[in-house]
């Protein structure tokens, strides 16, 4: 079969066309990021070959000196920039898969995440795994010449596209393994064929990459006796530091270098909130560099999200997303861990069973929690507020997943409370304890569908009257969190909508008044119990209500109303249980009800009372039509009275 026969012209996938159009026509405000992305990809290709060569050193083809080269050409009609690596390379199928179809979930998510702000959008590119296409920001034609390591020179492949609807692919022999990407620069982008400009971009974005990025040395002035313009052989020099940043002492690394390294490993466009660089020596030897991002990734709630740290063993890259080193509730942490104790042929399965990994996981988890505690103690508090807004709900998964660090995690949690009555979650449990009343022995909370429902819950009325602070919980994870948290600093948590109310701050007079109230309401309680026997476990008089007529309370060991709603919405089976209806006998509506002689009308009012109590806590009515019919009937009776 001849080479001509094997040349093919193929069409891009629909999403790829959208992406290319976007790159070419929209994201031109920060053109230089294309170089960051292409060098980062080249570095990844070299890391992959290093790892593959551990099992098969023939892939190195006798040449283990890794490098990335950047070459520039300036001609009258066309300027080019070529980025070459001697990494793993690609075969024909991989070229089509990686450069033609973009069959990754990240592409559509990227397109959905665009804001219309060119500068911000251009910075999103790498985060969504579409960095290669940034080449079309500055080029109107791109050629990729590649050969997979270990394959014959004749197996080389040439891919070419003008960034429109199609690309071509054909065989092209290549002696060296790896990949060369040549960008034919557009008019107006000739600056990227300028030596000084390209060097400054590489220093800015890629100084920390552990592979040397080489460029031709600028020609030295002619020596004495030499003619100016005499052709000198090209000599390459490293433009970047080419030292793995985490291996350098902390004192030698600037904050700017730490920030740029974070952007390299995370593909984030914003600076991190904070970081921790630590070297451990002793029983285990490893170095870690951990970052807390400023913004949540687009796939934070996706079960299949890429999470975990970059793992190196003795400076050799092993894998991306090694999730075994941190628990799932810290999945937002980015960084690098470099171990001297793990074997070079380690796999994900081995990592799950290695006791050294378990020890490192425990230490790294504590380090992240310490970073968060330090951030939370900063006087301004703005950085921790930023962190909590982005990742607070994820951290709330911690007490259920990590029992050993439950107390540490609890100190980091933030809540809305009746102290501020604002939706911002900015109050800690330590703040709550500091404001507790003298005889108060519990931390009170209420769980609801949203903040306003929680804030206006009838269950809070007696607490507001007595000046007792209550946590206002409205995140979906909150009920589950409280089931695992149970206590903090010796004080138990108490759901104000669960069980009978027993306030330690109540005086003897208050308790006597409550007993008197219950006795006087016995007849009304009995009548309501009969009317609502299919809907409630019991009816009782309560002192917890001051303004409302009634509220619903679940049993001490029953599932909370919010958790029940979440499970029902997810199609999960929930255990059968009935709430208790608590009434306020002093309320005018209950007094009227007590005097109602017509049993049919009493039954209608009793059912309306139950439905209103259900609505007040954010519940849904099982039979809304029946509720509307009863209300209409009652309104008509009132209008005729």
pLDDT in tens, 251-310: 999 999 899 889 888 878 789 999 999 999 888 899 999 999 999 887 777 766 677 898
Range ranked top by mean pLDDT from 345-349, 501-505, 574-578: 574-578
Whole-number Å distance between alpha carbons of 565 and 239: 59
Q: How confident is the model at residue 22 (pLDDT cuts 50, 70, 90)?
A: low
In this model, does residue 343 exceed pLDDT 80?
no
As a whole number, the mean pLDDT across the chain is 85
Q: What is the pLDDT of residue 127?
A: 46
* Residue-wise pLDDT tens digits, 58-74: 999 888 889 999 999 98
Point out which residues pair with 288 in neighbouring strands.
278, 337
> Which has the higher per-residue pLDDT, 126 or 394?
394
Contacts of 385 (CB under 8 A, 6+ apart): 424, 426
CA–CA separation, 271 and 262 (whole Å): 8
Distance CA 359, CA 363 (A): 6
Q: What is the mean pLDDT of residues 544-550?
A: 90
> pTM of the entire structure?
0.72
User: What is residue 88's predicted lDDT score, i.e. its pLDDT?
Assistant: 92
Choices 3.30.230.80, 3.40.50.2000, 1.10.560.10, 3.40.50.720: CATH for 248-386:
3.30.230.80
**pLDDT score at 424:** 94
State which H helix or E strand residue 275 sits in: strand 274-280
Out of 102-106, 168-172, 215-219, 466-470, which region has the weakest mean confidence (pLDDT)? 102-106
Q: Could you report the per-residue pLDDT of 205-249, keeping only the tens digit for each?
A: 777 778 899 999 987 776 666 665 566 677 899 998 777 889 889
Q: Which of 245, 244, 220, 243 is nearest to 230 (CA)?
A: 220
Tokens of 491: 């004080």
- Please give the pLDDT value at position 2: 44
Distance set, CA 407 to CA 402, 411, 427 (Å): 10, 6, 16
Domain ranges in the chain are 3-219+234-238, 248-386, 524-552+575-640
Residues 273, 387: contact at Cβ < 8 Å?
A: yes
pLDDT for 117 equals: 57
Q: Which two tokens stand for residue 217?
A: 């040395």
Find the helix or strand (DSSP H, E) in which 139 lies: strand 139-147
CATH 1.20.120.790 fits 524-552+575-640, yes or no: yes
Whether domain 3-219+234-238 has CATH 2.102.10.10: the reply is no
pLDDT of residue 106: 44
- Which of 148-157, 564-573, 615-624 is predicted with the least confidence, judged by mean pLDDT? 564-573
Taking only the tens place, the pLDDT of each residue in 388-425 is 999 999 999 999 999 999 999 999 999 999 999 999 99
Cβ-count burial 185-218 (b if 16+ within 10 Å, e if not): bbeebeebbeeeebbebbeebbbbbbbbbbbeee
Q: How confident is the model at residue 554 (pLDDT cuts 50, 70, 90)?
A: confident
Distance CA 130, CA 34 (A): 11
Q: Work out the average pLDDT over 541-553.
A: 89
Six token digits for residue 62: 């006798």
CATH topology agreement for domains 3-219+234-238 and 248-386: no
């Amino acid at each position: 079969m001849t080479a001509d026969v094997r040349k093919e012209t193929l069409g891009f996938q629909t999403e790829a066309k959208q992406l290319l159009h976007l790159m070419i026509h929209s994201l031109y405000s920060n053109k230089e990021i294309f170089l960051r992305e292409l060098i980062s990809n080249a570095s990844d290709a070299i890391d992959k070959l290093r790892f593959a060569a551990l099992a098969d050193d023939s892939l190195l083809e006798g040449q283990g000196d890794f490098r990335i080269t950047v070459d520039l050409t300036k001609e009258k009609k066309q300027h080019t920039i070529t980025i070459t690596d001697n990494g793993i390379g690609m075969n024909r199928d991989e070229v089509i898969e990686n450069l033609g179809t973009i069959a990754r979930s990240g592409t559509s998510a990227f397109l959905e995440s665009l804001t219309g702000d060119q500068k911000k959008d251009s910075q999103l590119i790498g985060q969504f795994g579409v960095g290669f296409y940034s080449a079309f920001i500055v080029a109107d034609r791109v050629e990729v010449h590649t050969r997979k390591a270990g394959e014959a020179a004749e197996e080389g492949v040439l891919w070419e596209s003008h960034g429109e609807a199609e690309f071509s692919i054909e065989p092209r022999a290549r002696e060296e393994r790896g990949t060369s990407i040549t960008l034919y620069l557009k008019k107006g982008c000739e600056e990227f064929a300028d030596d000084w400009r390209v060097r400054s971009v590489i220093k800015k974005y890629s100084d920390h990459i552990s592979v040397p990025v080489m460029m031709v040395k600028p020609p030295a002035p002619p020596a004495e006796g030499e003619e100016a313009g005499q052709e000198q052989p090209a000599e390459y020099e490293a433009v970047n530091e080419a030292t793995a940043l985490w291996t350098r002492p902390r004192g030698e690394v600037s904050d700017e270098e730490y920030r740029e390294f974070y952007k390299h490993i995370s593909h984030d466009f914003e600076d991190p909130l904070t970081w921790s660089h630590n070297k451990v020596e002793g029983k285990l030897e490893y170095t870690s560099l951990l970052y807390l991002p400023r913004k949540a990734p687009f796939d934070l709630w996706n079960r299949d999200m890429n999470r975990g740290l970059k793992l190196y063993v003795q400076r050799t890259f092993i894998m991306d997303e090694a999730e075994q080193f941190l628990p799932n509730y810290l999945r937002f942490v980015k960084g690098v861990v470099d171990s001297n104790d793990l074997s070079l042929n380690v796999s994900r399965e081995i990592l799950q069973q290695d006791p050294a990994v378990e020890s490192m996981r425990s230490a790294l988890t504590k380090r992240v929690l310490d970073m968060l505690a330090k951030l939370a103690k900063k006087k301004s508090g703005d950085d921790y507020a930023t962190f909590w807004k982005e990742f607070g709900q994820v951290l709330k998964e911690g007490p259920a997943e990590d029992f050993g660090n439950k107390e540490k995690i609890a100190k980091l949690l933030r809540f809305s409370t009746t102290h501020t009555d604002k939706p911002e979650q900015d109050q800690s449990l330590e703040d709550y304890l500091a404001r507790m009343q003298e005889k108060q022995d519990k931390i009170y909370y209420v769980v609801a569908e949203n903040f306003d429902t929680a804030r206006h819950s009838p269950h809070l009325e007696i607490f507001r009257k007595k000046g007792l602070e209550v946590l206002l919980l409205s995140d979906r994870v909150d009920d589950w969190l409280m089931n695992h948290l149970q206590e903090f600093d010796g004080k138990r948590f108490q759901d104000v909508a669960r069980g009978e109310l027993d306030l330690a701050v109540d005086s003897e007079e208050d308790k006597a008044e409550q007993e008197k109230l219950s006795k006087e309401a016995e007849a009304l309680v009995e009548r309501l119990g009969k009317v609502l026997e299919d809907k409630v476990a019991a009816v009782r008089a309560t002192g917890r209500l001051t303004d409302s007529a009634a509220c619903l309370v679940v049993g001490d060991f029953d599932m909370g109303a919010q958790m029940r709603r979440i499970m029902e919405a997810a199609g999960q089976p929930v255990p059968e249980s009935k709430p208790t209806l608590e009434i306020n006998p002093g309320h005018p509506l209950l007094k009227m009800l007590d005097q109602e002689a017509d049993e049919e009308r009493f039954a209608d009012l009793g059912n309306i009372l139950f439905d209103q109590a259900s609505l007040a806590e954010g519940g849904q009515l099982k039979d809304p039509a029946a509720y509307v019919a009863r209300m209409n009937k009652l309104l008509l009776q009132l209008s005729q009275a």
